[in-house]
């Protein structure tokens, strides 16, 4: 149930909660926040990691492996989306009548205790924009609590437990999870057809974003340049941002590299941005973050300084190193629109040969957006395709990256990541830009390539 009231009585000081999958990117900060609220927190995860070690150091017991006895003494269970009803701990809790809640329900309840709850949504750009917003809030000395679905160098983590009255969260539409949230300020970056294993079609996704925006109690910021977003926001009073001058927040005096421009709010100069990231998509992300800051009354100087110090989140055009005179980057893009935006940003870096190692993410997405992937993957100079990353799915469709390769002239298909690395090793030239791309583990192919350099060194 979205925005469940039942969870309220359990998230109070002194009560004991057990988190299933506590090592995850949004479960770990959840555990730390709940402990900070005065709750007794325990957790479990499939394997030990730096995340679980950090939790133990913070006084949260973590069991490695899922067993029924791990939930002993718990008054409620919070689970990651990957933990299903057949998980031994979930099954034991249900049998014992212990309530089981979703991660998003817990975050929704937590944000109710903050004066400002900034929820950043969109098919693309959530991690980057939430990271940008974090830089701004930190520059403004607002001591925010932060939940990002990635790594932010500023925080040395993907989360932060602050003591101010502001929380900023990356807010995902998958399975309608953001409908559990209680935003004061909702940001909608864009709306595209994605997660079609859950949503019926684009119209279904637009209805979900409309419901999300309607939850905001203070205001809504939405991309006025994006037709799908405008359609989704019909009937909602929102502040529009975009590159076009028809938006209430827009860019002026834009440089060709998209990194230097003025931000105009309601016809008045707000701030000037000299950004450490490139691309049209990042200019839009910055405008969204600036719009949120403007609505909160944050001085423009804090926005300028905050965004000047931002040089990207982990796995977002992240520079990894050099191989034989080529620059190696990694990017999380896994939707055709994200692929297009990243390729466009790379092309703005100069006349380099682009070698792309791409790993599609999930069978359903690859099938649903097959033609769009083919269109975008024809753009790089060299393309090598790793096999599809299954994530939460099984291949009941019978689709493979080999099917994409057949439609892309010159593309090479590799069944394994070591084969991808070997292809790169043999084909990369001095002056190339090598880009590993995808939401799975394709980054390992680039890291293995760079290990060759460190071993030689």
- Give the CA-trace dihedral at 436, 441, 446, 452, to 10 degrees: -170
Dihedral sign for Cα atoms in the order 367, 369, 375, 380: negative
Is the separation of the CB atoms in 317 and 342 below 8 Å? yes
The pLDDT of residue 360 is 97
Quote the CA–CA distance of 386 and 55 in Å, as a whole number: 34
* CATH topology (fold) of 114-308: 3.40.1190
The pLDDT of residue 159 is 84
What integer is the mean pLDDT of 88-107?
Answer: 95
Q: How high does pLDDT run on average in the chain?
A: 94
Q: Where are the domains of the chain?
A: 6-103, 114-308, 318-456
pLDDT, tens digit, 9 for 90 and up, residues 378-387: 999 999 999 9
The pLDDT of residue 1 is 46
CB atoms < 10 A from the CB of 57, how many?
A: 8
DSSP state letters, 58-83: TT--EEES--GGGGTT-SEEEE-TT-
pLDDT, tens digit, 9 for 90 and up, residues 173-231: 988 999 999 999 999 999 998 988 889 999 999 999 999 999 999 999 999 999 999 99
Give the C-alpha distances (Å, rounded to integers) separating 13 from 10, 79, 120.
Answer: 9, 20, 28
The pLDDT of residue 372 is 97
Tokens in use for 78? 């919070």
CATH numeric code, 6-103: 3.40.50.720
pLDDT, tens digit, 9 for 90 and up, residues 327-349: 999 999 999 999 999 999 999 88
Tokens in use for 443? 């980054």
Tokens in use for 57? 């150091």
Question: Tell me: domain 318-456, CATH 3.90.190.20, correct?
Answer: yes
């Amino acid at each position: 149930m979205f925005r469940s009231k039942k969870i309220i009585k359990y998230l109070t000081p002194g009560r004991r909660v057990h988190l299933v999958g506590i090592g995850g990117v949004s479960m770990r900060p959840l555990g730390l926040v709940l402990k900070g609220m005065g709750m007794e927190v325990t957790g479990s995860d499939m394997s030990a990691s730096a995340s679980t070690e950090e939790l133990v150091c913070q006084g949260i017991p973590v069991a490695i492996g899922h067993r029924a006895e791990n939930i002993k003494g718990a008054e409620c269970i919070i689970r990651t989306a990957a933990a299903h009803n057949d998980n031994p701990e979930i099954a034991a809790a249900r049998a014992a009548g212990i309530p089981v809640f979703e991660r998003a329900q817990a975050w929704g309840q937590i944000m109710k205790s903050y004066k400002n709850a900034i929820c950043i949504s969109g098919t693309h750009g959530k991690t980057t924009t939430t990271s940008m917003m974090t830089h701004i809030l930190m520059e403004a000395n607002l001591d925010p609590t932060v939940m990002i679905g990635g790594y932010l160098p500023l925080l040395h983590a993907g989360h932060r437990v602050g003591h101010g009255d502001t929380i900023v969260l990356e807010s995902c539409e998958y399975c309608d999870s953001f409908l559990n949230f209680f935003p004061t300020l909702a940001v909608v970056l864009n709306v595209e057809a994605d997660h079609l294993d859950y949503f019926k079609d684009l119209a279904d996704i637009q209805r979900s974003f409309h419901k999300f925006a309607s939850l905001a109690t203070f205001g809504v910021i939405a991309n006025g340049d994006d037709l799908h977003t405008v359609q989704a926001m019909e009937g909602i009073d929102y502040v529009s941002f975009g590159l076009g001058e028809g938006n209430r927040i827009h860019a002026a005096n834009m440089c060709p590299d998209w990194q230097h421009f003025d931000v105009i709010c309601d016809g008045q100069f707000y701030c000037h941005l000299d950004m450490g990231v490139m691309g049209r998509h990042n200019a839009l992300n910055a405008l969204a973050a600036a719009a949120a800051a403007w609505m909160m009354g944050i001085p423009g100087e804090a926005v300028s300084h905050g965004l000047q110090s931002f040089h990207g989140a982990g796995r977002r055009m992240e520079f990894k190193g050099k191989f034989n005179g080529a620059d190696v980057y990694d990017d999380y893009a896994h939707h055709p629109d994200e692929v297009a935006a990243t390729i466009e940003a790379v092309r703005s870096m100069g006349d380099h040969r682009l070698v792309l190692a791409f790993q599609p993410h999930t069978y359903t997405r690859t099938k649903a957006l097959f033609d769009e992937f083919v269109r975008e993957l024809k753009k790089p100079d060299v393309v090598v395709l790793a096999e599809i990353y299954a994530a939460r799915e099984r291949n009941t469709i019978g689709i493979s990256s080999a099917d994409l390769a057949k439609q892309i002239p010159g593309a090479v298909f590799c069944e394994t990541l070591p084969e991808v690395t070997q292809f790169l090793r043999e084909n990369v030239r001095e002056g190339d830009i090598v880009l590993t791309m995808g939401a799975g583990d394709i980054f390992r192919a680039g890291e293995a390539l760079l290990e060759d350099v460190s071993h030689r060194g």
